[in-house]
């Protein structure tokens, strides 16, 4: 990151205006404006005072400390997850914060670390969400100030979800309107370039990921439409949408578990205990069966992520927890066949966060 970008970013992080920086250094506001635009630079005698004012070391101010590469950041995020698993969430969180203090100008590190910590909190420490959620929101708000549109947009998207949960719809709308939509499909262009270069495996992987992502988006949209139909008391439409969602899973070789989610939600809405049990007999084993993405002819170039089996097991435990603790499933607990079915599966200590059956 260039010195002008560092000055601008650190000034905003400190909540200072250009006028305040100028007053603190005894220079004109237009001088500070030119520094941030990159059309001129601070006098060398002002650098120590400027660094103190912005609470940053001179190496960072002068960009002597190189940014981490995307590959290094990816490996570091993997280390965060490993530390969380072995030593607990707090250890992983502190590790991430120390790295971000070491590289305070790396927007990519900030964005990826925030996302990793967010995911680790949901999967490994949901009972600590109330404690860490405010700190994660601070990280996302910092990332949302990035001049890199992709990083800023991702952070804003994550913030929108949080604001909607708090029913701050005005704030969520403001962030949505601030998103920068790309003028072209970057992945599609990269895949075309790979293909022209003869890098067929790389091109195929990008197209496969695009296909899987689009299929998952269609599936998610169908679930949302079905939920609306249920709220509208339109049972016939809800049943039609559930059927389309199931066929989408089979057509695009998505996770088998997903094929049963819509029909199960429909059966729950109707409080049809017999149908719920019938679906669970297929749904729970699907959660236990290892899902190998690359075994599908549609996704043969997509490498499976390490730890997917662990995450799958955790999801099973959370589903079982929800079935035994959430109020919407009370009608099922008097069913003897349901009880036997639950007892036949391994069950970990329940969490208290309500679980959504969506992926």
Tell me if 213 is assigned to some domain: yes
* Cα 323 from Cα 321, distance rounded (Å): 5
pTM over 0.75: no
Q: What's the number of domains the chain is made of?
A: 3
Tell me: do 85 and 9 sit in the same domain: no
Q: Are both 150 and 282 inside the same structural domain? A: no
Last residue of a domain, one of 153, 177, 201: 177
**217 in the same domain as 325:** yes
In whole angstroms, give the CA distance from residue 149 to residue 154. Answer: 8
pLDDT tens-digit readout, 42-77: 888 888 899 889 888 777 777 655 567 888 899 999
Residue range 246-303, pLDDT digits in tens: 999 999 999 999 999 999 999 999 999 999 999 999 999 988 887 788 899 999 999 8
What are the tens digits of pLDDT across the range 143-165? 999 988 889 988 998 998 898 88
Asked if residue 352 belongs to a domain, the reply is no
The predicted model gives 198-208 an average pLDDT of 93
Domain CATH code at residue 20 = 1.10.260.40
Domain end (from 146, 177, 208): 177
Give the integer Cα–Cα distance in Å for 121 and 129. 7
Calpha distance 206→189 (Å, rounded)? 10
Looking at the fold, whether 339 and 209 belong to one and the same domain comes out as yes
Q: Are residues 97 and 54 in the same domain?
A: no
Claim to verify: residue 199 and residue 336 sit in the same structural domain: yes
Token pair of 109 as six digits: 């590190």
Domain that holds residue 87: 70-177
- Decide which of 212 and 173 is more confident: 212
């Amino acid at each position: 990151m260039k010195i002008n970008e560092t000055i601008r970013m650190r000034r905003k992080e400190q909540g200072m205006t250009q006028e305040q920086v100028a007053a603190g250094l005894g220079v004109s506001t237009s001088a500070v404006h030119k520094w941030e635009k990159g059309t001129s630079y601070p006098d060398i005698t002002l650098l120590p005072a400027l660094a103190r004012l912005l609470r940053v070391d001179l190496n960072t101010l002068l960009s002597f400390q190189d940014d981490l590469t995307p590959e290094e950041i990816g490996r570091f995020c993997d280390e965060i997850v490993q530390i969380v698993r072995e030593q607990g969430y707090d250890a992983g969180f502190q590790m991430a914060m120390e790295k971000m203090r070491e590289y305070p100008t790396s927007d990519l590190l900030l964005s990826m670390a925030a996302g990793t910590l967010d995911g680790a909190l949901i999967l490994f420490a949901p009972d600590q969400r109330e404690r860490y959620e405010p700190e994660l929101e601070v990280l996302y708000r910092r990332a949302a100030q990035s001049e890199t549109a992709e990083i800023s947009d991702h952070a804003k998207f994550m913030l929108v979800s949080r604001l909607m949960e708090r029913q701050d719809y005005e704030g969520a709308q403001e962030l949505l309107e601030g998103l920068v939509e790309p003028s072209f499909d970057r992945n599609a262009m990269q895949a075309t370039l790979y293909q022209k270069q003869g890098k067929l495996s790389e091109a195929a992987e990008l197209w496969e990921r695009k296909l899987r992502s689009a299929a998952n988006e269609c599936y998610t949209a169908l679930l949302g439409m079905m939920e609306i139909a249920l709220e509208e008391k339109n049972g016939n439409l809800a049943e039609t949408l559930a059927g389309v969602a199931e066929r989408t899973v089979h057509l695009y070789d998505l996770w088998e578990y997903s094929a049963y989610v819509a029909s199960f939600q429909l059966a729950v809405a109707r409080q049809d205990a017999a149908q719920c049990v019938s679906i669970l007999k297929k749904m729970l084993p699907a959660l236990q069966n290892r899902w190998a993405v690359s075994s599908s002819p549609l996704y043969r170039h997509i490498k499976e992520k390490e730890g997917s089996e662990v995450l799958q097991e955790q999801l099973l435990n959370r589903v079982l927890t929800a079935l035994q603790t959430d109020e919407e499933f009370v009608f099922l607990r008097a069913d003897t066949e349901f009880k036997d079915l639950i007892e036949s599966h391994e069950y970990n200590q329940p969490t208290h966060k309500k679980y959504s059956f969506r992926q």
